[in-house]
Amino acid sequence: MRTPNGIPLILIIGGGYAGAALTIRLLETCRQPLHVVIAEPRAELGRGEAYSTSETAQLMNGPAGNFSIHLQNLSHLAEWVERTGHDTGIQIPPEGAANIFIPRNVFGRYVGEELQRAIDRAGAGTRVSHWQSDVVRLRRDNDGTLKAEFSDGRHLRADIAVLATGVFPLAEDPALAPLAGDWRLAKPWQSDRLDRLSRLQDILIVGASLSMVDTVASLETRGYRGRYHVISRRGHLIQAVRPAGEPVPILDPDALPQTTRELLATVIRTRRTILSEDRDWQVLPLSLRPFILPLWLGASTAERLRFARHLRALWDVTAHRAAPPSYARIEAAKAEGRFSAGAARLVSAERAGDLVRVIVRPRGERQTREVLVNAIVDARGHQEHDWSRIKAPLVKDLLSIGIVRRHQTGFGIDAAADGAVIGMDGATHRDLFAIGHPLRGVAWESSSLTELRAQAAALAERLSNALNASKVIQLREIETVA
C-alpha cells in the first residue's frame, strides 16, 4: 500500500469521539489532499468506550443541544435527533430535541454518520482509512519519521501522528479478585450480566458516581425491584443536572487565585452567598468552568498536586452531574426504601453459596462489617489517568522509549498547550500530538465532549495551517508486513 506522491499521511491513534471529531474538522479545513489513517480496533468509528454501550437507559450527561459535533453549527445534533427520531425510537416533544438527554449509543451512531458524511464530501485525492487494529509501538526511524507498528503486524510511516487514545480502564480491585469471571460480579455495561442481576434482591454497587447512575437506570429498566447498597470511599453521592440559572461572577479574570486554599475560600464564600439567596449551588461549577484552564495553567506544580490530592474527588462529583431521567430512577428507588448510599471501603468479597459475602470498612471506623448481597456491580469508573499504571502495550512502549513523558501531576502526559507532545528529553515533537484524556494534566478538564470538540477544532486548524503552508511534503511509504 502506498500513498500517492506528495500526499501527507496523518495517523490518528484511537477512533473514539476525539479521533472522529479531529478527522471531520481536518477534512473540512485542510485545503490539500490528505491521507488519514485511523487506528481503532473497534469495528465502528466514533463510539469509543462511552458510546459503544448497547444499554439504551445509559444517557448522555447533558441535553442534545449541548453536543453537536460541529462547533460552527451548535444545533446540529438536536436537528439530527429530530430527523432520525422515527428510527432511533426517541420521542420528540413539540418544542424540539434540544433539551432531550439521548441514549449514548444513539450519540455514537450520530458521530459515526457525521464522520462518514465528512469522508464522502472530502476533496479529490483525500482518503480516510480505518485500520482495525491497535498500534503497539511508535518509533522514530533513522530518517526521523514516525513509524507505527500494529498488533496485526502491519507497519505505517506517518508525517504526523495524534494520540487520541482516550480512557483506559482502572486495574481490577484486588478485593474483587475471588469473584473474577463470576456472573455475580458485573460491570455497568455488561448487558448479559445485568439481565441476570435484575432478578435478584440485594446488589452492592461500588462507586457513587455516573457509572452507578448508569447501573441503576439499566437495572430499573429491566424491572429490578430489589435493593441497592452503594458505597464509595468518601461517600460523595452524584447529583442530577438542574437548570441552575445564570453563572455568578465568582472570579476576577485579572486576579485569579494563586493557591488551592485561596480558591477554596472564594468558592466557600460564594456558595454561602448563593445559598443565602435561595439559589442552587449547581450554579457554582457552571460559573467556575470558564476559569478552569487559566487557573490550571497559572498554578504551580505543587498547587496542582495539592488540588488533585485534596479537591479532585469533590470537584468531580460537583462538576459531573447525571442526566435527570436516569437520576429519577434513583429518586424513585430511594422513595421506596430500595436505595442507600454510604462512605465505606471494600475490604473483601467472596461467594457464600448463592450469596456474596462482602466485608467493608465504613469511613472513620476501625471495625469492619459483613454484608451479604446477591451480587456486586463494579462502578468505580473507567478512568486510569496515570500512564505509569496503564498496561496497554502502546502506553508502556511510549513511556519506555521516552517519546512521551508522564505529566508531573501524574495525570496523562506532558504536552505544549496546543497538544504537541513533549518527550523525556524535554523537547517538543513537531509531528506528534495528543488530544483529550492524555492531556488531563496539561488542561485538567480534557474529557468532556465540549472540551474535545474545541480541542479537535484547534488541533485541526493547527495541522491544516502547517500542511497548507508546506510546499513540499515528502512521500511516506506505507509498508505492509505480512
Ligand X SMILES: NC(=O)c1ccc[n+]([C@@H]2O[C@H](COP(=O)([O-])OP(=O)(O)OC[C@H]3O[C@@H](n4cnc5c(N)ncnc54)[C@H](OP(=O)(O)O)[C@@H]3O)[C@@H](O)[C@H]2O)c1
Ligand Y SMILES: Cc1cc2nc3c(=O)[nH]c(=O)nc-3n(C[C@H](O)[C@H](O)[C@H](O)COP(=O)(O)OP(=O)(O)OC[C@H]3O[C@@H](n4cnc5c(N)ncnc54)[C@H](O)[C@@H]3O)c2cc1C
Site string for ligand X, 36-75 (x = CB under 6 A): ------------------------xx--------------
Minimum CB distance to ligand Y, residue 225 (Å): 25
Report the distance separating Cα 83 and Cα 81, nearest Å. Answer: 5
Q: Tell me the number of residues near ligand X by CB under 6 A.
A: 28
Pick from 385, 397, 389, 386: which is nearest to 151 by CA?
A: 397
User: Of 8, 63, 103, 166, which one interacts with ligand Y (CB under 6 A)?
Assistant: 166
Binding of ligand X by 382 (CB under 6 A): yes
Residues 284/267, Cβ–Cβ less than 8 Å: yes
For residues 415-444, which are near ligand Y according to CB under 6 A? 436-437
The cell for 349 is 468479597
Q: Give SS3 for 359.
A: strand
Minimum CB distance to ligand Y, residue 161 (Å): 11
Binding of ligand Y by 17 (CB under 6 A): yes
Segments of 239-391 assigned E as strands: 339-352, 355-362, 369-373, 375-378
196 CA to centre of own chain = 28
Site string for ligand Y, 108-137 (x = CB under 6 A): --------------------------xx--
Minimum CB distance to ligand X, residue 40 (Å): 19
SS (H, E, C) 211-247: HHHHHHHHHHHCCCCCEEEEEECCCCCCCECCCCCCC
Residues 55/195, Cβ–Cβ less than 8 Å: no
Binding of ligand X by 173 (CB under 6 A): yes
CB nearer to ligand Y: pick between 104 and 157: 104
Site string for ligand X, 248-287 (x = CB under 6 A): ----------------------------------------
Total Cβ atoms within 10 A of residue 456: 26
**For residue 189, what are the contacts with CB-CB under 8 A and spacing of at least 6?**
52, 53, 54, 55, 58, 214
**For residue 128, what are the contacts with CB-CB under 8 A and spacing of at least 6?**
23, 27, 35, 36, 37, 38, 119, 122
Binding of ligand Y by 403 (CB under 6 A): no
Binding of ligand Y by 79 (CB under 6 A): no
Indicate the burial class of 402 (C-beta count within 10 angstroms; 0-12, 13-18, 19 or more): exposed
CB nearer to ligand Y: pick between 57 and 356: 57
Binding of ligand Y by 345 (CB under 6 A): no
For residues 243-272, which are near ligand Y according to CB under 6 A? none
Report the distance separating Cα 29 and Cα 23, nearest Å. Answer: 10
Report the distance separating Cα 439 and Cα 416, nearest Å. Answer: 9
At position 456, the amino acid (one-letter code) is A
Partner whose footprint covers residue 233, from ligand Y, ligand X, none (CB < 5 to 8 Å by kind): ligand X
Minimum CB distance to ligand Y, residue 257 (Å): 26
Looking only at Cα atoms, what is the longest distance across the chain? 71
Report the distance separating Cα 107 and Cα 419, nearest Å. Answer: 26
Partner whose footprint covers residue 97, from ligand X, ligand Y, none (CB < 5 to 8 Å by kind): none
User: Of 68, 190, 211, 270, which one interacts with ligand X (CB under 6 A)?
Assistant: 211
Binding of ligand X by 229 (CB under 6 A): no
Binding of ligand Y by 414 (CB under 6 A): no
User: Of 193, 227, 382, 407, which one interacts with ligand Y (CB under 6 A)?
Assistant: 382
Partner whose footprint covers residue 231, from ligand X, ligand Y, none (CB < 5 to 8 Å by kind): ligand X
For residues 76-105, which are near ligand X according to CB under 6 A? 104
Report the distance separating Cα 217 and Cα 222, nearest Å. Answer: 9
Positions in the binding site for ligand X (CB under 6 A) = 60-61, 104, 173, 206-211, 214, 231-234, 236, 313, 316, 320, 322-323, 345-346, 380-383, 447
Binding footprint of ligand Y on the chain (CB under 6 A): 13-19, 39-42, 48-50, 60-61, 104, 134-135, 164-167, 382, 392, 394, 436-437, 447-449, 452
